Amino acid sequence: MMNIQILTDRYPELAVCAEEIVKAYEIMLDCYRSGGKMLFCGNGGSAADSEHIVGELMKGFLLKRPPLQADRDAFDALFPEDADYFAANLQRGIPAISLVSQSAVQTAFNNDVAADMVFAQQVYGYARPGDLVMGITTTGNSKNVVNAMKVAKAMGLATVGLTGAKESKLSALCDMTIRVPKTETYQVQELHLPVYHWLCAALEDEIFADDEH
């Protein structure tokens, strides 16, 4: 596992939640190893963070993540004219979905059913045993995120929260909540970014470092 001190040396104030960050990493790694996928949700800046996290997980972040040889062989067997191009330009991903980017689902559900249940609906529709849901909210009390976590818990999914310093509805629900030591919204968001960058880098290092060639 990538040393958490890499993060806390750069952001000393995050030392108070280092243990929670490592535990969240372990939960996320277990999800991947069990064949699960990760779902992310949040509002406003936290919606952008959901998108950002998925962008780092679904393609190379710090490593190139080349396709496995078995995949290269399959490309070569079926599409020999494209095999080298595919092998050079495809990267292995950590399966992840940002729930916030699906505007048609969201606007239809918000209008026709209930806006505070839209993420819950997506979790209910997408999730399968072994999956994980991460909710990002600076207060820990965003109703649509909390409802998504309640559905996730009822479905037996792994749950991770990323919040500010205060105890919250989310921290009472999640298997692990990372509570960064700020309460002002923009300051919480400023610390969320290095936390999830470390999580993405640590997952990538554990899963793909030995596969580079």
Residues 127-142 have pLDDT tens digits of: 999 999 999 999 999 9
Cα distance between residue 100 and residue 30, in whole Å: 24
Backbone phi and psi for residue 87, each to the nearest 5 degrees, phi listed first: -60, -35
DSSP state of 179: E
Q: Read off the pLDDT of residues 165-183 as tens digits, 9 standing for 90 and up.
A: 999 999 999 999 999 999 9
Task: For residue 171, give Cα distances in angstroms to 23, 134, 163, 167, 193.
Answer: 14, 12, 8, 6, 19
Main-chain dihedrals φ then ψ at residue 33, nearest 5 degrees: -65, -25
pLDDT of residue 210: 79
Quote the mean pLDDT of the chain: 97
- Paired with 134 in beta bridges are 40, 160
Record the pTM. Answer: 0.96
Q: How confident is the model at residue 184 (pLDDT cuts 50, 70, 90)?
A: very high
Percent of the chain with pLDDT over 90: 97
Sequence spans of domains, the chain: 5-58+95-207, 63-92
pLDDT at 141: 98
- Phi first, then psi, for residue 161 (nearest 5°) are -115, 150
Confirm or reject CATH 3.20.20.60 for domain 5-58+95-207, answering yes or no: no
3-state class (DSSP) for residue 82? coil
Two tokens, residue 91? 């990267």
Q: What is the distance between the alpha carbons of residues 47 and 57, in angstroms, rounded to a whole number?
A: 16
- Residue 201 pLDDT > 80: yes
Indicate if the alpha-carbon torsion angle 109, 114, 119, 122 is positive or negative. Answer: negative
Residue-wise pLDDT for 148-165, tens only, equals: 999 999 999 999 999 999
- The yes-or-no verdict on residue 82 having pLDDT over 70 is yes
pLDDT at position 190 over 50 = yes
Q: How far is CA 41 from CA 21, 30, 52, 147, 188, in A?
A: 18, 20, 11, 11, 16
- pLDDT beyond 70 at 199: yes
Asked if the model's pLDDT at residue 116 lies above 50, the reply is yes
Q: What angle do CA 194, 195, 196 make, to 5 degrees?
A: 95
Query: Is residue 213 predicted with pLDDT exceeding 50?
Result: no
